[in-house]
């Protein structure tokens, strides 16, 4: 099994790594810069000293023997600037013309004299000493002599080396401290996540009222907490909806089942006559029809909740669909003496969706309109195409809906006070199913109603583009 390090360990390791890399590169740059500056300063001093000494040396070299020259240099150079004694002069054969006592111990080899005036600079190490040496050539009496002047950098280099060694010693300690610091910091930074995990872990279906503590920091942690809380909120709403739905469904089924039971008990009673039993059976049949309707609605809602509308992107002609719905409801309308009319364009009105689901929706609206309109009233279906959408409208001159009920009629199992309503009111699931179908089609289902005057249900759907123009003609 592959083990990955914890995020805290990895963050601390990254933190330490980056810190060490920065400290090391800064240290290296600083070390190199100080070293370069020390050498550059020494070079400048050497150059100026050489420039000062060149005329003097040149003057001494003319017409003198080597032995005399040594004496000359010894006598005159001791008065030169400090360090000036680090001087050696050699002839073209590499023999020493002069070597100051102080430079001798460094054993700096003589350079072959080059072009007169040419200058080279070099860093020479001898034992623990570091010297910066400038070499130049001086022409006198037809000979070219090599002159070497040196300056000691031992002090600066030793200080630099001591600094470097101390830094190298301190580095592991700094790394360990920064790792510990990083580990502690990451722990602190991740503490809210830990807390969220603990809270989220204790959330179950029965404790969906709990929320994680999202720090108000405006960062990823807050977004994580807010997202988790929004998710729990949705879950909470979903679970509550399912619980309510189940409780309502059970309650709804209790009445018909209770009626079935008492009817059956009456029919089975020893003193029940044949007529009683016949009437009981008729009752049972009516209740069974009622039960089937409720179960059909429940199943349709459950399917709709699960997004199971078959072929939501089929081409549907709302015109023929409305006509089919009207034909379905006509017998009921006739029985209730309601004038059912429809006013639709003569061309197809195309939308995208599920034909079965949309037919169900329009039938629910028409069924309600007929159910809640007293005899002699009117129900009108109209269809109209507009620039972007299609409007299907069901108007009735029925009992209307009280303003207090209006916001609730699309809720499951909600039934407005049906005083005065025509008999045969349903289970309160019709409009909930209608809205669920509308939502699945990205359509809007609205209602306007005036109690005692009638209601208007409007379904707005996006028109199928290429068809809508021809339909508007």
Residue numbers at the binding site for ligand ADP (CB under 6 A) = 368-369, 372, 396, 398-401, 409, 414-416, 418, 425-432, 455
73 or 372: CB nearest ligand ADP: 372
- Report which secondary-structure segment, H or E, holds 254: helix 220-268
Closest distance of CB 387 from ligand ADP, Å: 28
Give the number of C-alpha atoms closer than 13 A to the C-alpha of residue 78, restricted to the C-beta side: 6
Crossing angle for the helix pair 355-371 and 318-335, to the nearest 10 degrees: 30
C-alpha 408 chain-centroid distance:
37
Closest distance of CB 403 from ligand ADP, Å: 12
Give the C-alpha separation, 28 to 168, whole Å. 11
Closest distance of CB 283 from ligand ADP, Å: 21
326 or 432: CB nearest ligand ADP: 432
Would you say 34 and 209 are in contact if contact means Cβ atoms under 8 Å apart? no
316 or 365: CB nearest ligand ADP: 365
321 or 369: CB nearest ligand ADP: 369
3 state DSSP class of 232: helix
Closest distance of CB 455 from ligand ADP, Å: 4
305 or 317: CB nearest ligand ADP: 305
157 or 287: CB nearest ligand ADP: 287
Which residue is listed with tokens 């044949």? 274
Would you say 401 and 409 are in contact if contact means Cβ atoms under 8 Å apart? yes
Closest distance of CB 402 from ligand ADP, Å: 9
Give the C-alpha separation, 117 to 101, whole Å. 25
Determine the residue with CB nearest ligand ADP: 426
Query: How many other C-beta atoms lie within 10 A of the C-beta of residue 392?
Result: 27
Closest distance of CB 252 from ligand ADP, Å: 10
Task: Classify strands 339-343 and 378-385 as parallel, antiparallel or unpaired.
Answer: parallel
Query: How many other C-beta atoms lie within 10 A of the C-beta of residue 201?
Result: 8
């Amino acid at each position: 099994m592959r083990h990955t390090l914890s995020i805290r360990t990895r963050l601390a390791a990254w933190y330490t790594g980056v810190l060490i890399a920065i400290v090391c590169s800064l240290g290296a740059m600083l070390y190199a810069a100080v070293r370069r500056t020390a050498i550059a300063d020494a070079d400048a001093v050497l150059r100026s000293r050489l420039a000062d000494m060149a005329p003097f040396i040149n003057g001494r070299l003319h017409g003198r023997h080597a032995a005399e020259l040594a004496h000359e240099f010894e006598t005159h150079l001791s008065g030169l600037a400090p360090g000036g004694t680090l001087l050696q002069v050699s002839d073209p054969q590499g023999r020493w013309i002069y070597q100051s006592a102080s430079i001798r111990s460094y054993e700096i080899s003589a350079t072959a004299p080059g072009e007169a005036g040419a200058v080279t600079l070099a860093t020479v190490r001898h034992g623990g000493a570091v010297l910066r040496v400038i070499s130049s050539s001086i022409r006198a009496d037809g000979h070219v002599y090599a002159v070497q002047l040196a300056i000691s950098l031992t002090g600066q280099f030793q200080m630099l080396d001591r600094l470097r060694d101390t830094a190298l010693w301190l580095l592991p300690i700094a790394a360990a401290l920064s790792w510990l610091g990083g580990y502690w910091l990451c722990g602190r930074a991740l503490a809210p996540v830990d807390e969220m995990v603990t809270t989220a872990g204790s959330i179950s279906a029965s404790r969906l009222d709990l929320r994680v503590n999202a720090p108000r920091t405006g960062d990823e942690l807050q977004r994580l907490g807010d997202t988790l809380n929004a998710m729990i909120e949705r879950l909470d709403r979903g679970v509550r909806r399912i619980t309510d739905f189940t409780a309502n469904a059970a309650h709804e089924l209790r009445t018909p089942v209770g009626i079935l039971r008492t009817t059956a008990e009456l029919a089975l009673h020893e003193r029940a006559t044949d007529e009683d039993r016949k009437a009981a059976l008729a009752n049972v049949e009516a209740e069974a029809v009622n039960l089937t309707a409720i179960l059909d609605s429940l199943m349709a809602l459950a399917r709709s909740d699960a997004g199971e509308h078959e072929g939501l992107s089929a081409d549907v002609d709302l015109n023929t669909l409305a006509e089919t719905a009207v034909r379905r409801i006509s017998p009921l309308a006739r029985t209730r003496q309601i004038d059912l009319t429809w006013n639709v364009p003569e061309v197809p009105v195309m939308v995208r969706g599920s034909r079965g689901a949309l037919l169900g929706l329009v039938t629910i609206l028409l069924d309600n309109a007929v159910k809640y309109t007293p005899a002699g009233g009117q129900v009108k279906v109209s269809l109209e195409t507009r620039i972007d959408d299609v409007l299907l409208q069901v108007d009735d001159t029925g009992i209307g809906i009280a303003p207090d009920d209006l916001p609730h009629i699309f809720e499951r199992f909600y039934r407005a006070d049906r005083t005065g309503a025509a008999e045969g009111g349903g289970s309160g699931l019709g409009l909930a199913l209608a809205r669920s179908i509308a939502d699945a089609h990205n359509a809007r289902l609205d209602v306007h109603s005036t109690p005692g005057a009638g209601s208007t249900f409007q379904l707005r759907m996006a028109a199928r583009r290429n068809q809508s123009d021809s339909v508007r003609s």
